[in-house]
Structure 1
Amino acid sequence: MGTSAGPTTEHLMNLNDLDLKLLRVFHQLMIERRVSSAAQSLGVSQPAVSNALKRLRGLLGDELFQRTAQGMLPTPLAEQIAEPIAYAIDAIRSVVNHQVHFDPATAHRDFVLGLIDLGEMFFLPSLLVQVCQQAPGVRINVARSINSSLKEDMETGRIDVAIGLMPQLQGNFFRQRLFRQNFVLAFRQDHPLSKKSAIGLDDFIACEHVAVSQGSGHGDIDRLMERKGIERRIRTTVPYFDAVGPILEATDLVATVPLNLAEMLRRPFGIGHAPHPVALPEISIDVFWNARLQRDPANQWLRRLIFKLFSDQAQGST
């Protein structure tokens, strides 16, 4: 008869050696992906981080991280245990610190927001004004969110809150809608289209376009137009929205952009906009956070501030 595959004595002994310091090193390496950065964040030497990683490798029987030109690449086992370890560390920190409330006036900490470039332009200035007034010891940093890494960055704690159109954030994430908005057709204010009382589909197809390929849900709009059989004459493709204003200002190109971006481009680049000739769905701009931060007082304060500043309810919209 076969024997059960329970834990061996050696594994139990190894588990007894797995102290909190080792878990903190692992957690920080998942966030930073570099030994030097993890050491700086933890306030220890690089050899101390390397020695802790060596102990973890021995205890868990796995390399955990592979050195690459892009930094420390986690193994499948490291990715599997990353979120439970992050949960455990947050729970212990909350208990030890008796974190029953968050006082922004006296707090000293960093928050990391996951944003695309459009979010940086729209959300960051107003948010920083309020943070400087309410929380002088708080710093706001931005990690430009990319489809391939955003989910993992939020699960491991590298990003505290993400804002935008981010359909890739499903599963173990909470979300709260800020507002909905339409896409419009943007062009320079003295563009030939500005003389038209209404822009039709033929006008749209006849124009040359600048397309944005950045990694967010906005790319679904391009695929929707393709499914409708609408072929644009794309003259240039740029990775991010922040290049659109200067390009439209200097050329006769047009762009399909969210309404708030078109309004932001009006003054600095002389950009106008018109209702889009293609029937495109509204998009929902949401705030996202990991489920393990749902009751975290600091994260709650940041989310409330974002909602107060930017939600359509806060602005009295229907």
Structure 2
Amino acid sequence: MHIERIDLNLFVIFERIYAEGSLTRASEQLNLTQPALSHALARLRTVVNDPLFVRQGGRMVPTPAAHKLIRYVKPSLTAIKQGLGEIEDFDPTSSRKRIHIGWPHRFESVMLPRLMPVIEAGAPGVELSCSLLGRYELEEKLSTGAIDLALNVLRPTGPDIRSRLILRSDLAVVARKGHPGIRKTLSMNSYMAHKHVLVTGSSNGRGFEDFELAAHGLKRDISLRCTDYHSACLVVSKTNLLLTIMSPIAELAVQGSDIELHRFPLPDKTVDLYLYWHAMSDNDPAIQWMIGLIEEQVSADASIKAVNKPKPARKPEKSSTAKSSARTGAQ
């Protein structure tokens, strides 16, 4: 294959389709008609001898060959833009930028109510696109440009992934009002005597709290695994099951409901949340603006333990990673 015979604009189109997962959105981003975009995709398919994308419902799902190709195309396009000085100054008041964030479902209710009022008031043209992020997808999706930022607990990552600790959250235990097994405070004996709900995207994974309990030689009885906090809280309100979640999520859930909050019976146990991005975005003003906005809103919120003076962008330390390796399966 001779690269001089290939129209390199095809890779620009490929990258947009990959990032957007939609011919319609990609055509809007590139100011091309859908027929023109489809024709370009057909040409590239012929060049690489692979369909690259398969339509599933309303999405264009990448093939394995597309996943491999984007690892080379995305950083190459970024380098070219930087070399030509085409990464323009970012003005949030007038930008139409779409920023993609991936995170586990439990973080949406914590972050979006803090971010969207500020974006609506000061950056009305900026679109925030959020998607669920599986436990092993963080590095791949940042590397391929499928997402711009990720929010998660501490994960082991490669050298091109930046991370920054942005907040610490207490754990709370949710129980129905008038729970017969709980007096004024929730003791460890009472906590361990009851069955529990675990919100997770995994059929057999453990939560952060399970690793903390295991460190004290304890294993709780999980009666229900589900994928949604709202459903979990409804179940708790009608049963004697207990639910352990981050305090900011719990405080939202308890409003106007038949549930109440108790302190997690292991003192001083917190969940550390990290913001992740790829080194390719170090000089992207839009992504750096969003990083600053997230840190600013977290720091300004008295209901959570923000890290007011985060360390510079870095990789998690080896010691921390090793210490938390057992926790990387927590959902």
Confirm or deny a common fold (TM above 0.5): yes
Determine the structure 2 residue equivalent to 1:302: 290
Structure 2 counterparts to residues 26-175 of structure 1, below 5 A: 26-35=14-23, 38-60=26-48, 62-63=49-50, 65=52, 67=54, 69=56, 72-94=60-82, 98-147=86-135, 149-165=137-153, 167=155, 170-175=158-163
Alignment partner of 2:173 out of 170, 181, 185 = 185
d(CA) in 2 for partners of 1:94 and 1:270?
55
d(CA) in 2 for partners of 1:24 and 1:208?
53
Letter aligned with residue 237 of structure 2: E
Deviations 1:227-247 (A, max 9, x none): 766443333221132322222
Letter aligned with residue 132 of structure 1: E
CA 1:170–1:246: 2 relative to 1, 3 Å: farther
Q: Which structure ranks higher in relative contact order (CA pairs < 8 Å, sequence separation ≥ 6)?
A: 2
d(CA) in 1 for partners of 2:100 and 2:40?
26
Letter aligned with residue 263 of structure 1: E
d(CA) in 2 for partners of 1:53 and 1:172?
29
Pair 1:207 & 2:188 matched:
no
Deviations 1:7-44 (A, max 9, x none): xxxx3xx3012233200122123224455554454343
Deviations 1:199-231 (A, max 9, x none): 123x2232122121225x973543564676644
Structure 1 contact 199–274 (Cα < 8 Å) conserved: no
Q: How far 1:129 moved relative to its partner?
A: 0.9
Relative to the length of structure 2, the TM-score reads 0.77
Q: How far 1:191 moved relative to its partner?
A: 1.7
* Unaligned 5+ runs, structure 2: 300-305, 311-331
Determine the structure 2 residue equivalent to 1:8: none
Letter aligned with residue 139 of structure 1: E
CA 1:178–1:132: 2 relative to 1, 3 Å: same
What SS does the aligned partner of 1:136 have? coil
Q: Tell which deviates more after alignment, 185-194 or 105-114.
A: 185-194
d(CA) in 2 for partners of 1:56 and 1:281?
52
CA 1:254–1:19: 2 relative to 1, 3 Å: same
Deviations 1:107-152 (A, max 9, x none): 2222222133221111101101111122122122211222354433
CA 1:166–1:30: 2 relative to 1, 3 Å: farther
Q: How far 1:287 moved relative to its partner?
A: 0.9
Q: Tell which deviates more after alignment, 297-306 or 277-286.
A: 277-286
Q: How far 1:297 moved relative to its partner?
A: 0.6
Q: How far 1:309 moved relative to its partner?
A: 1.0
Letter aligned with residue 159 of structure 1: I
d(CA) in 2 for partners of 1:109 and 1:115?
20
CA 1:98–1:213: 2 relative to 1, 3 Å: closer
Q: How far 1:182 moved relative to its partner?
A: 3.3
Structure 2 contact 52–65 (Cα < 8 Å) conserved: no
Structure 2 contact 10–40 (Cα < 8 Å) conserved: yes
Aligned pair count?
A: 301
Larger radius of gyration: 1
Aligned sequence identity (%)? 25
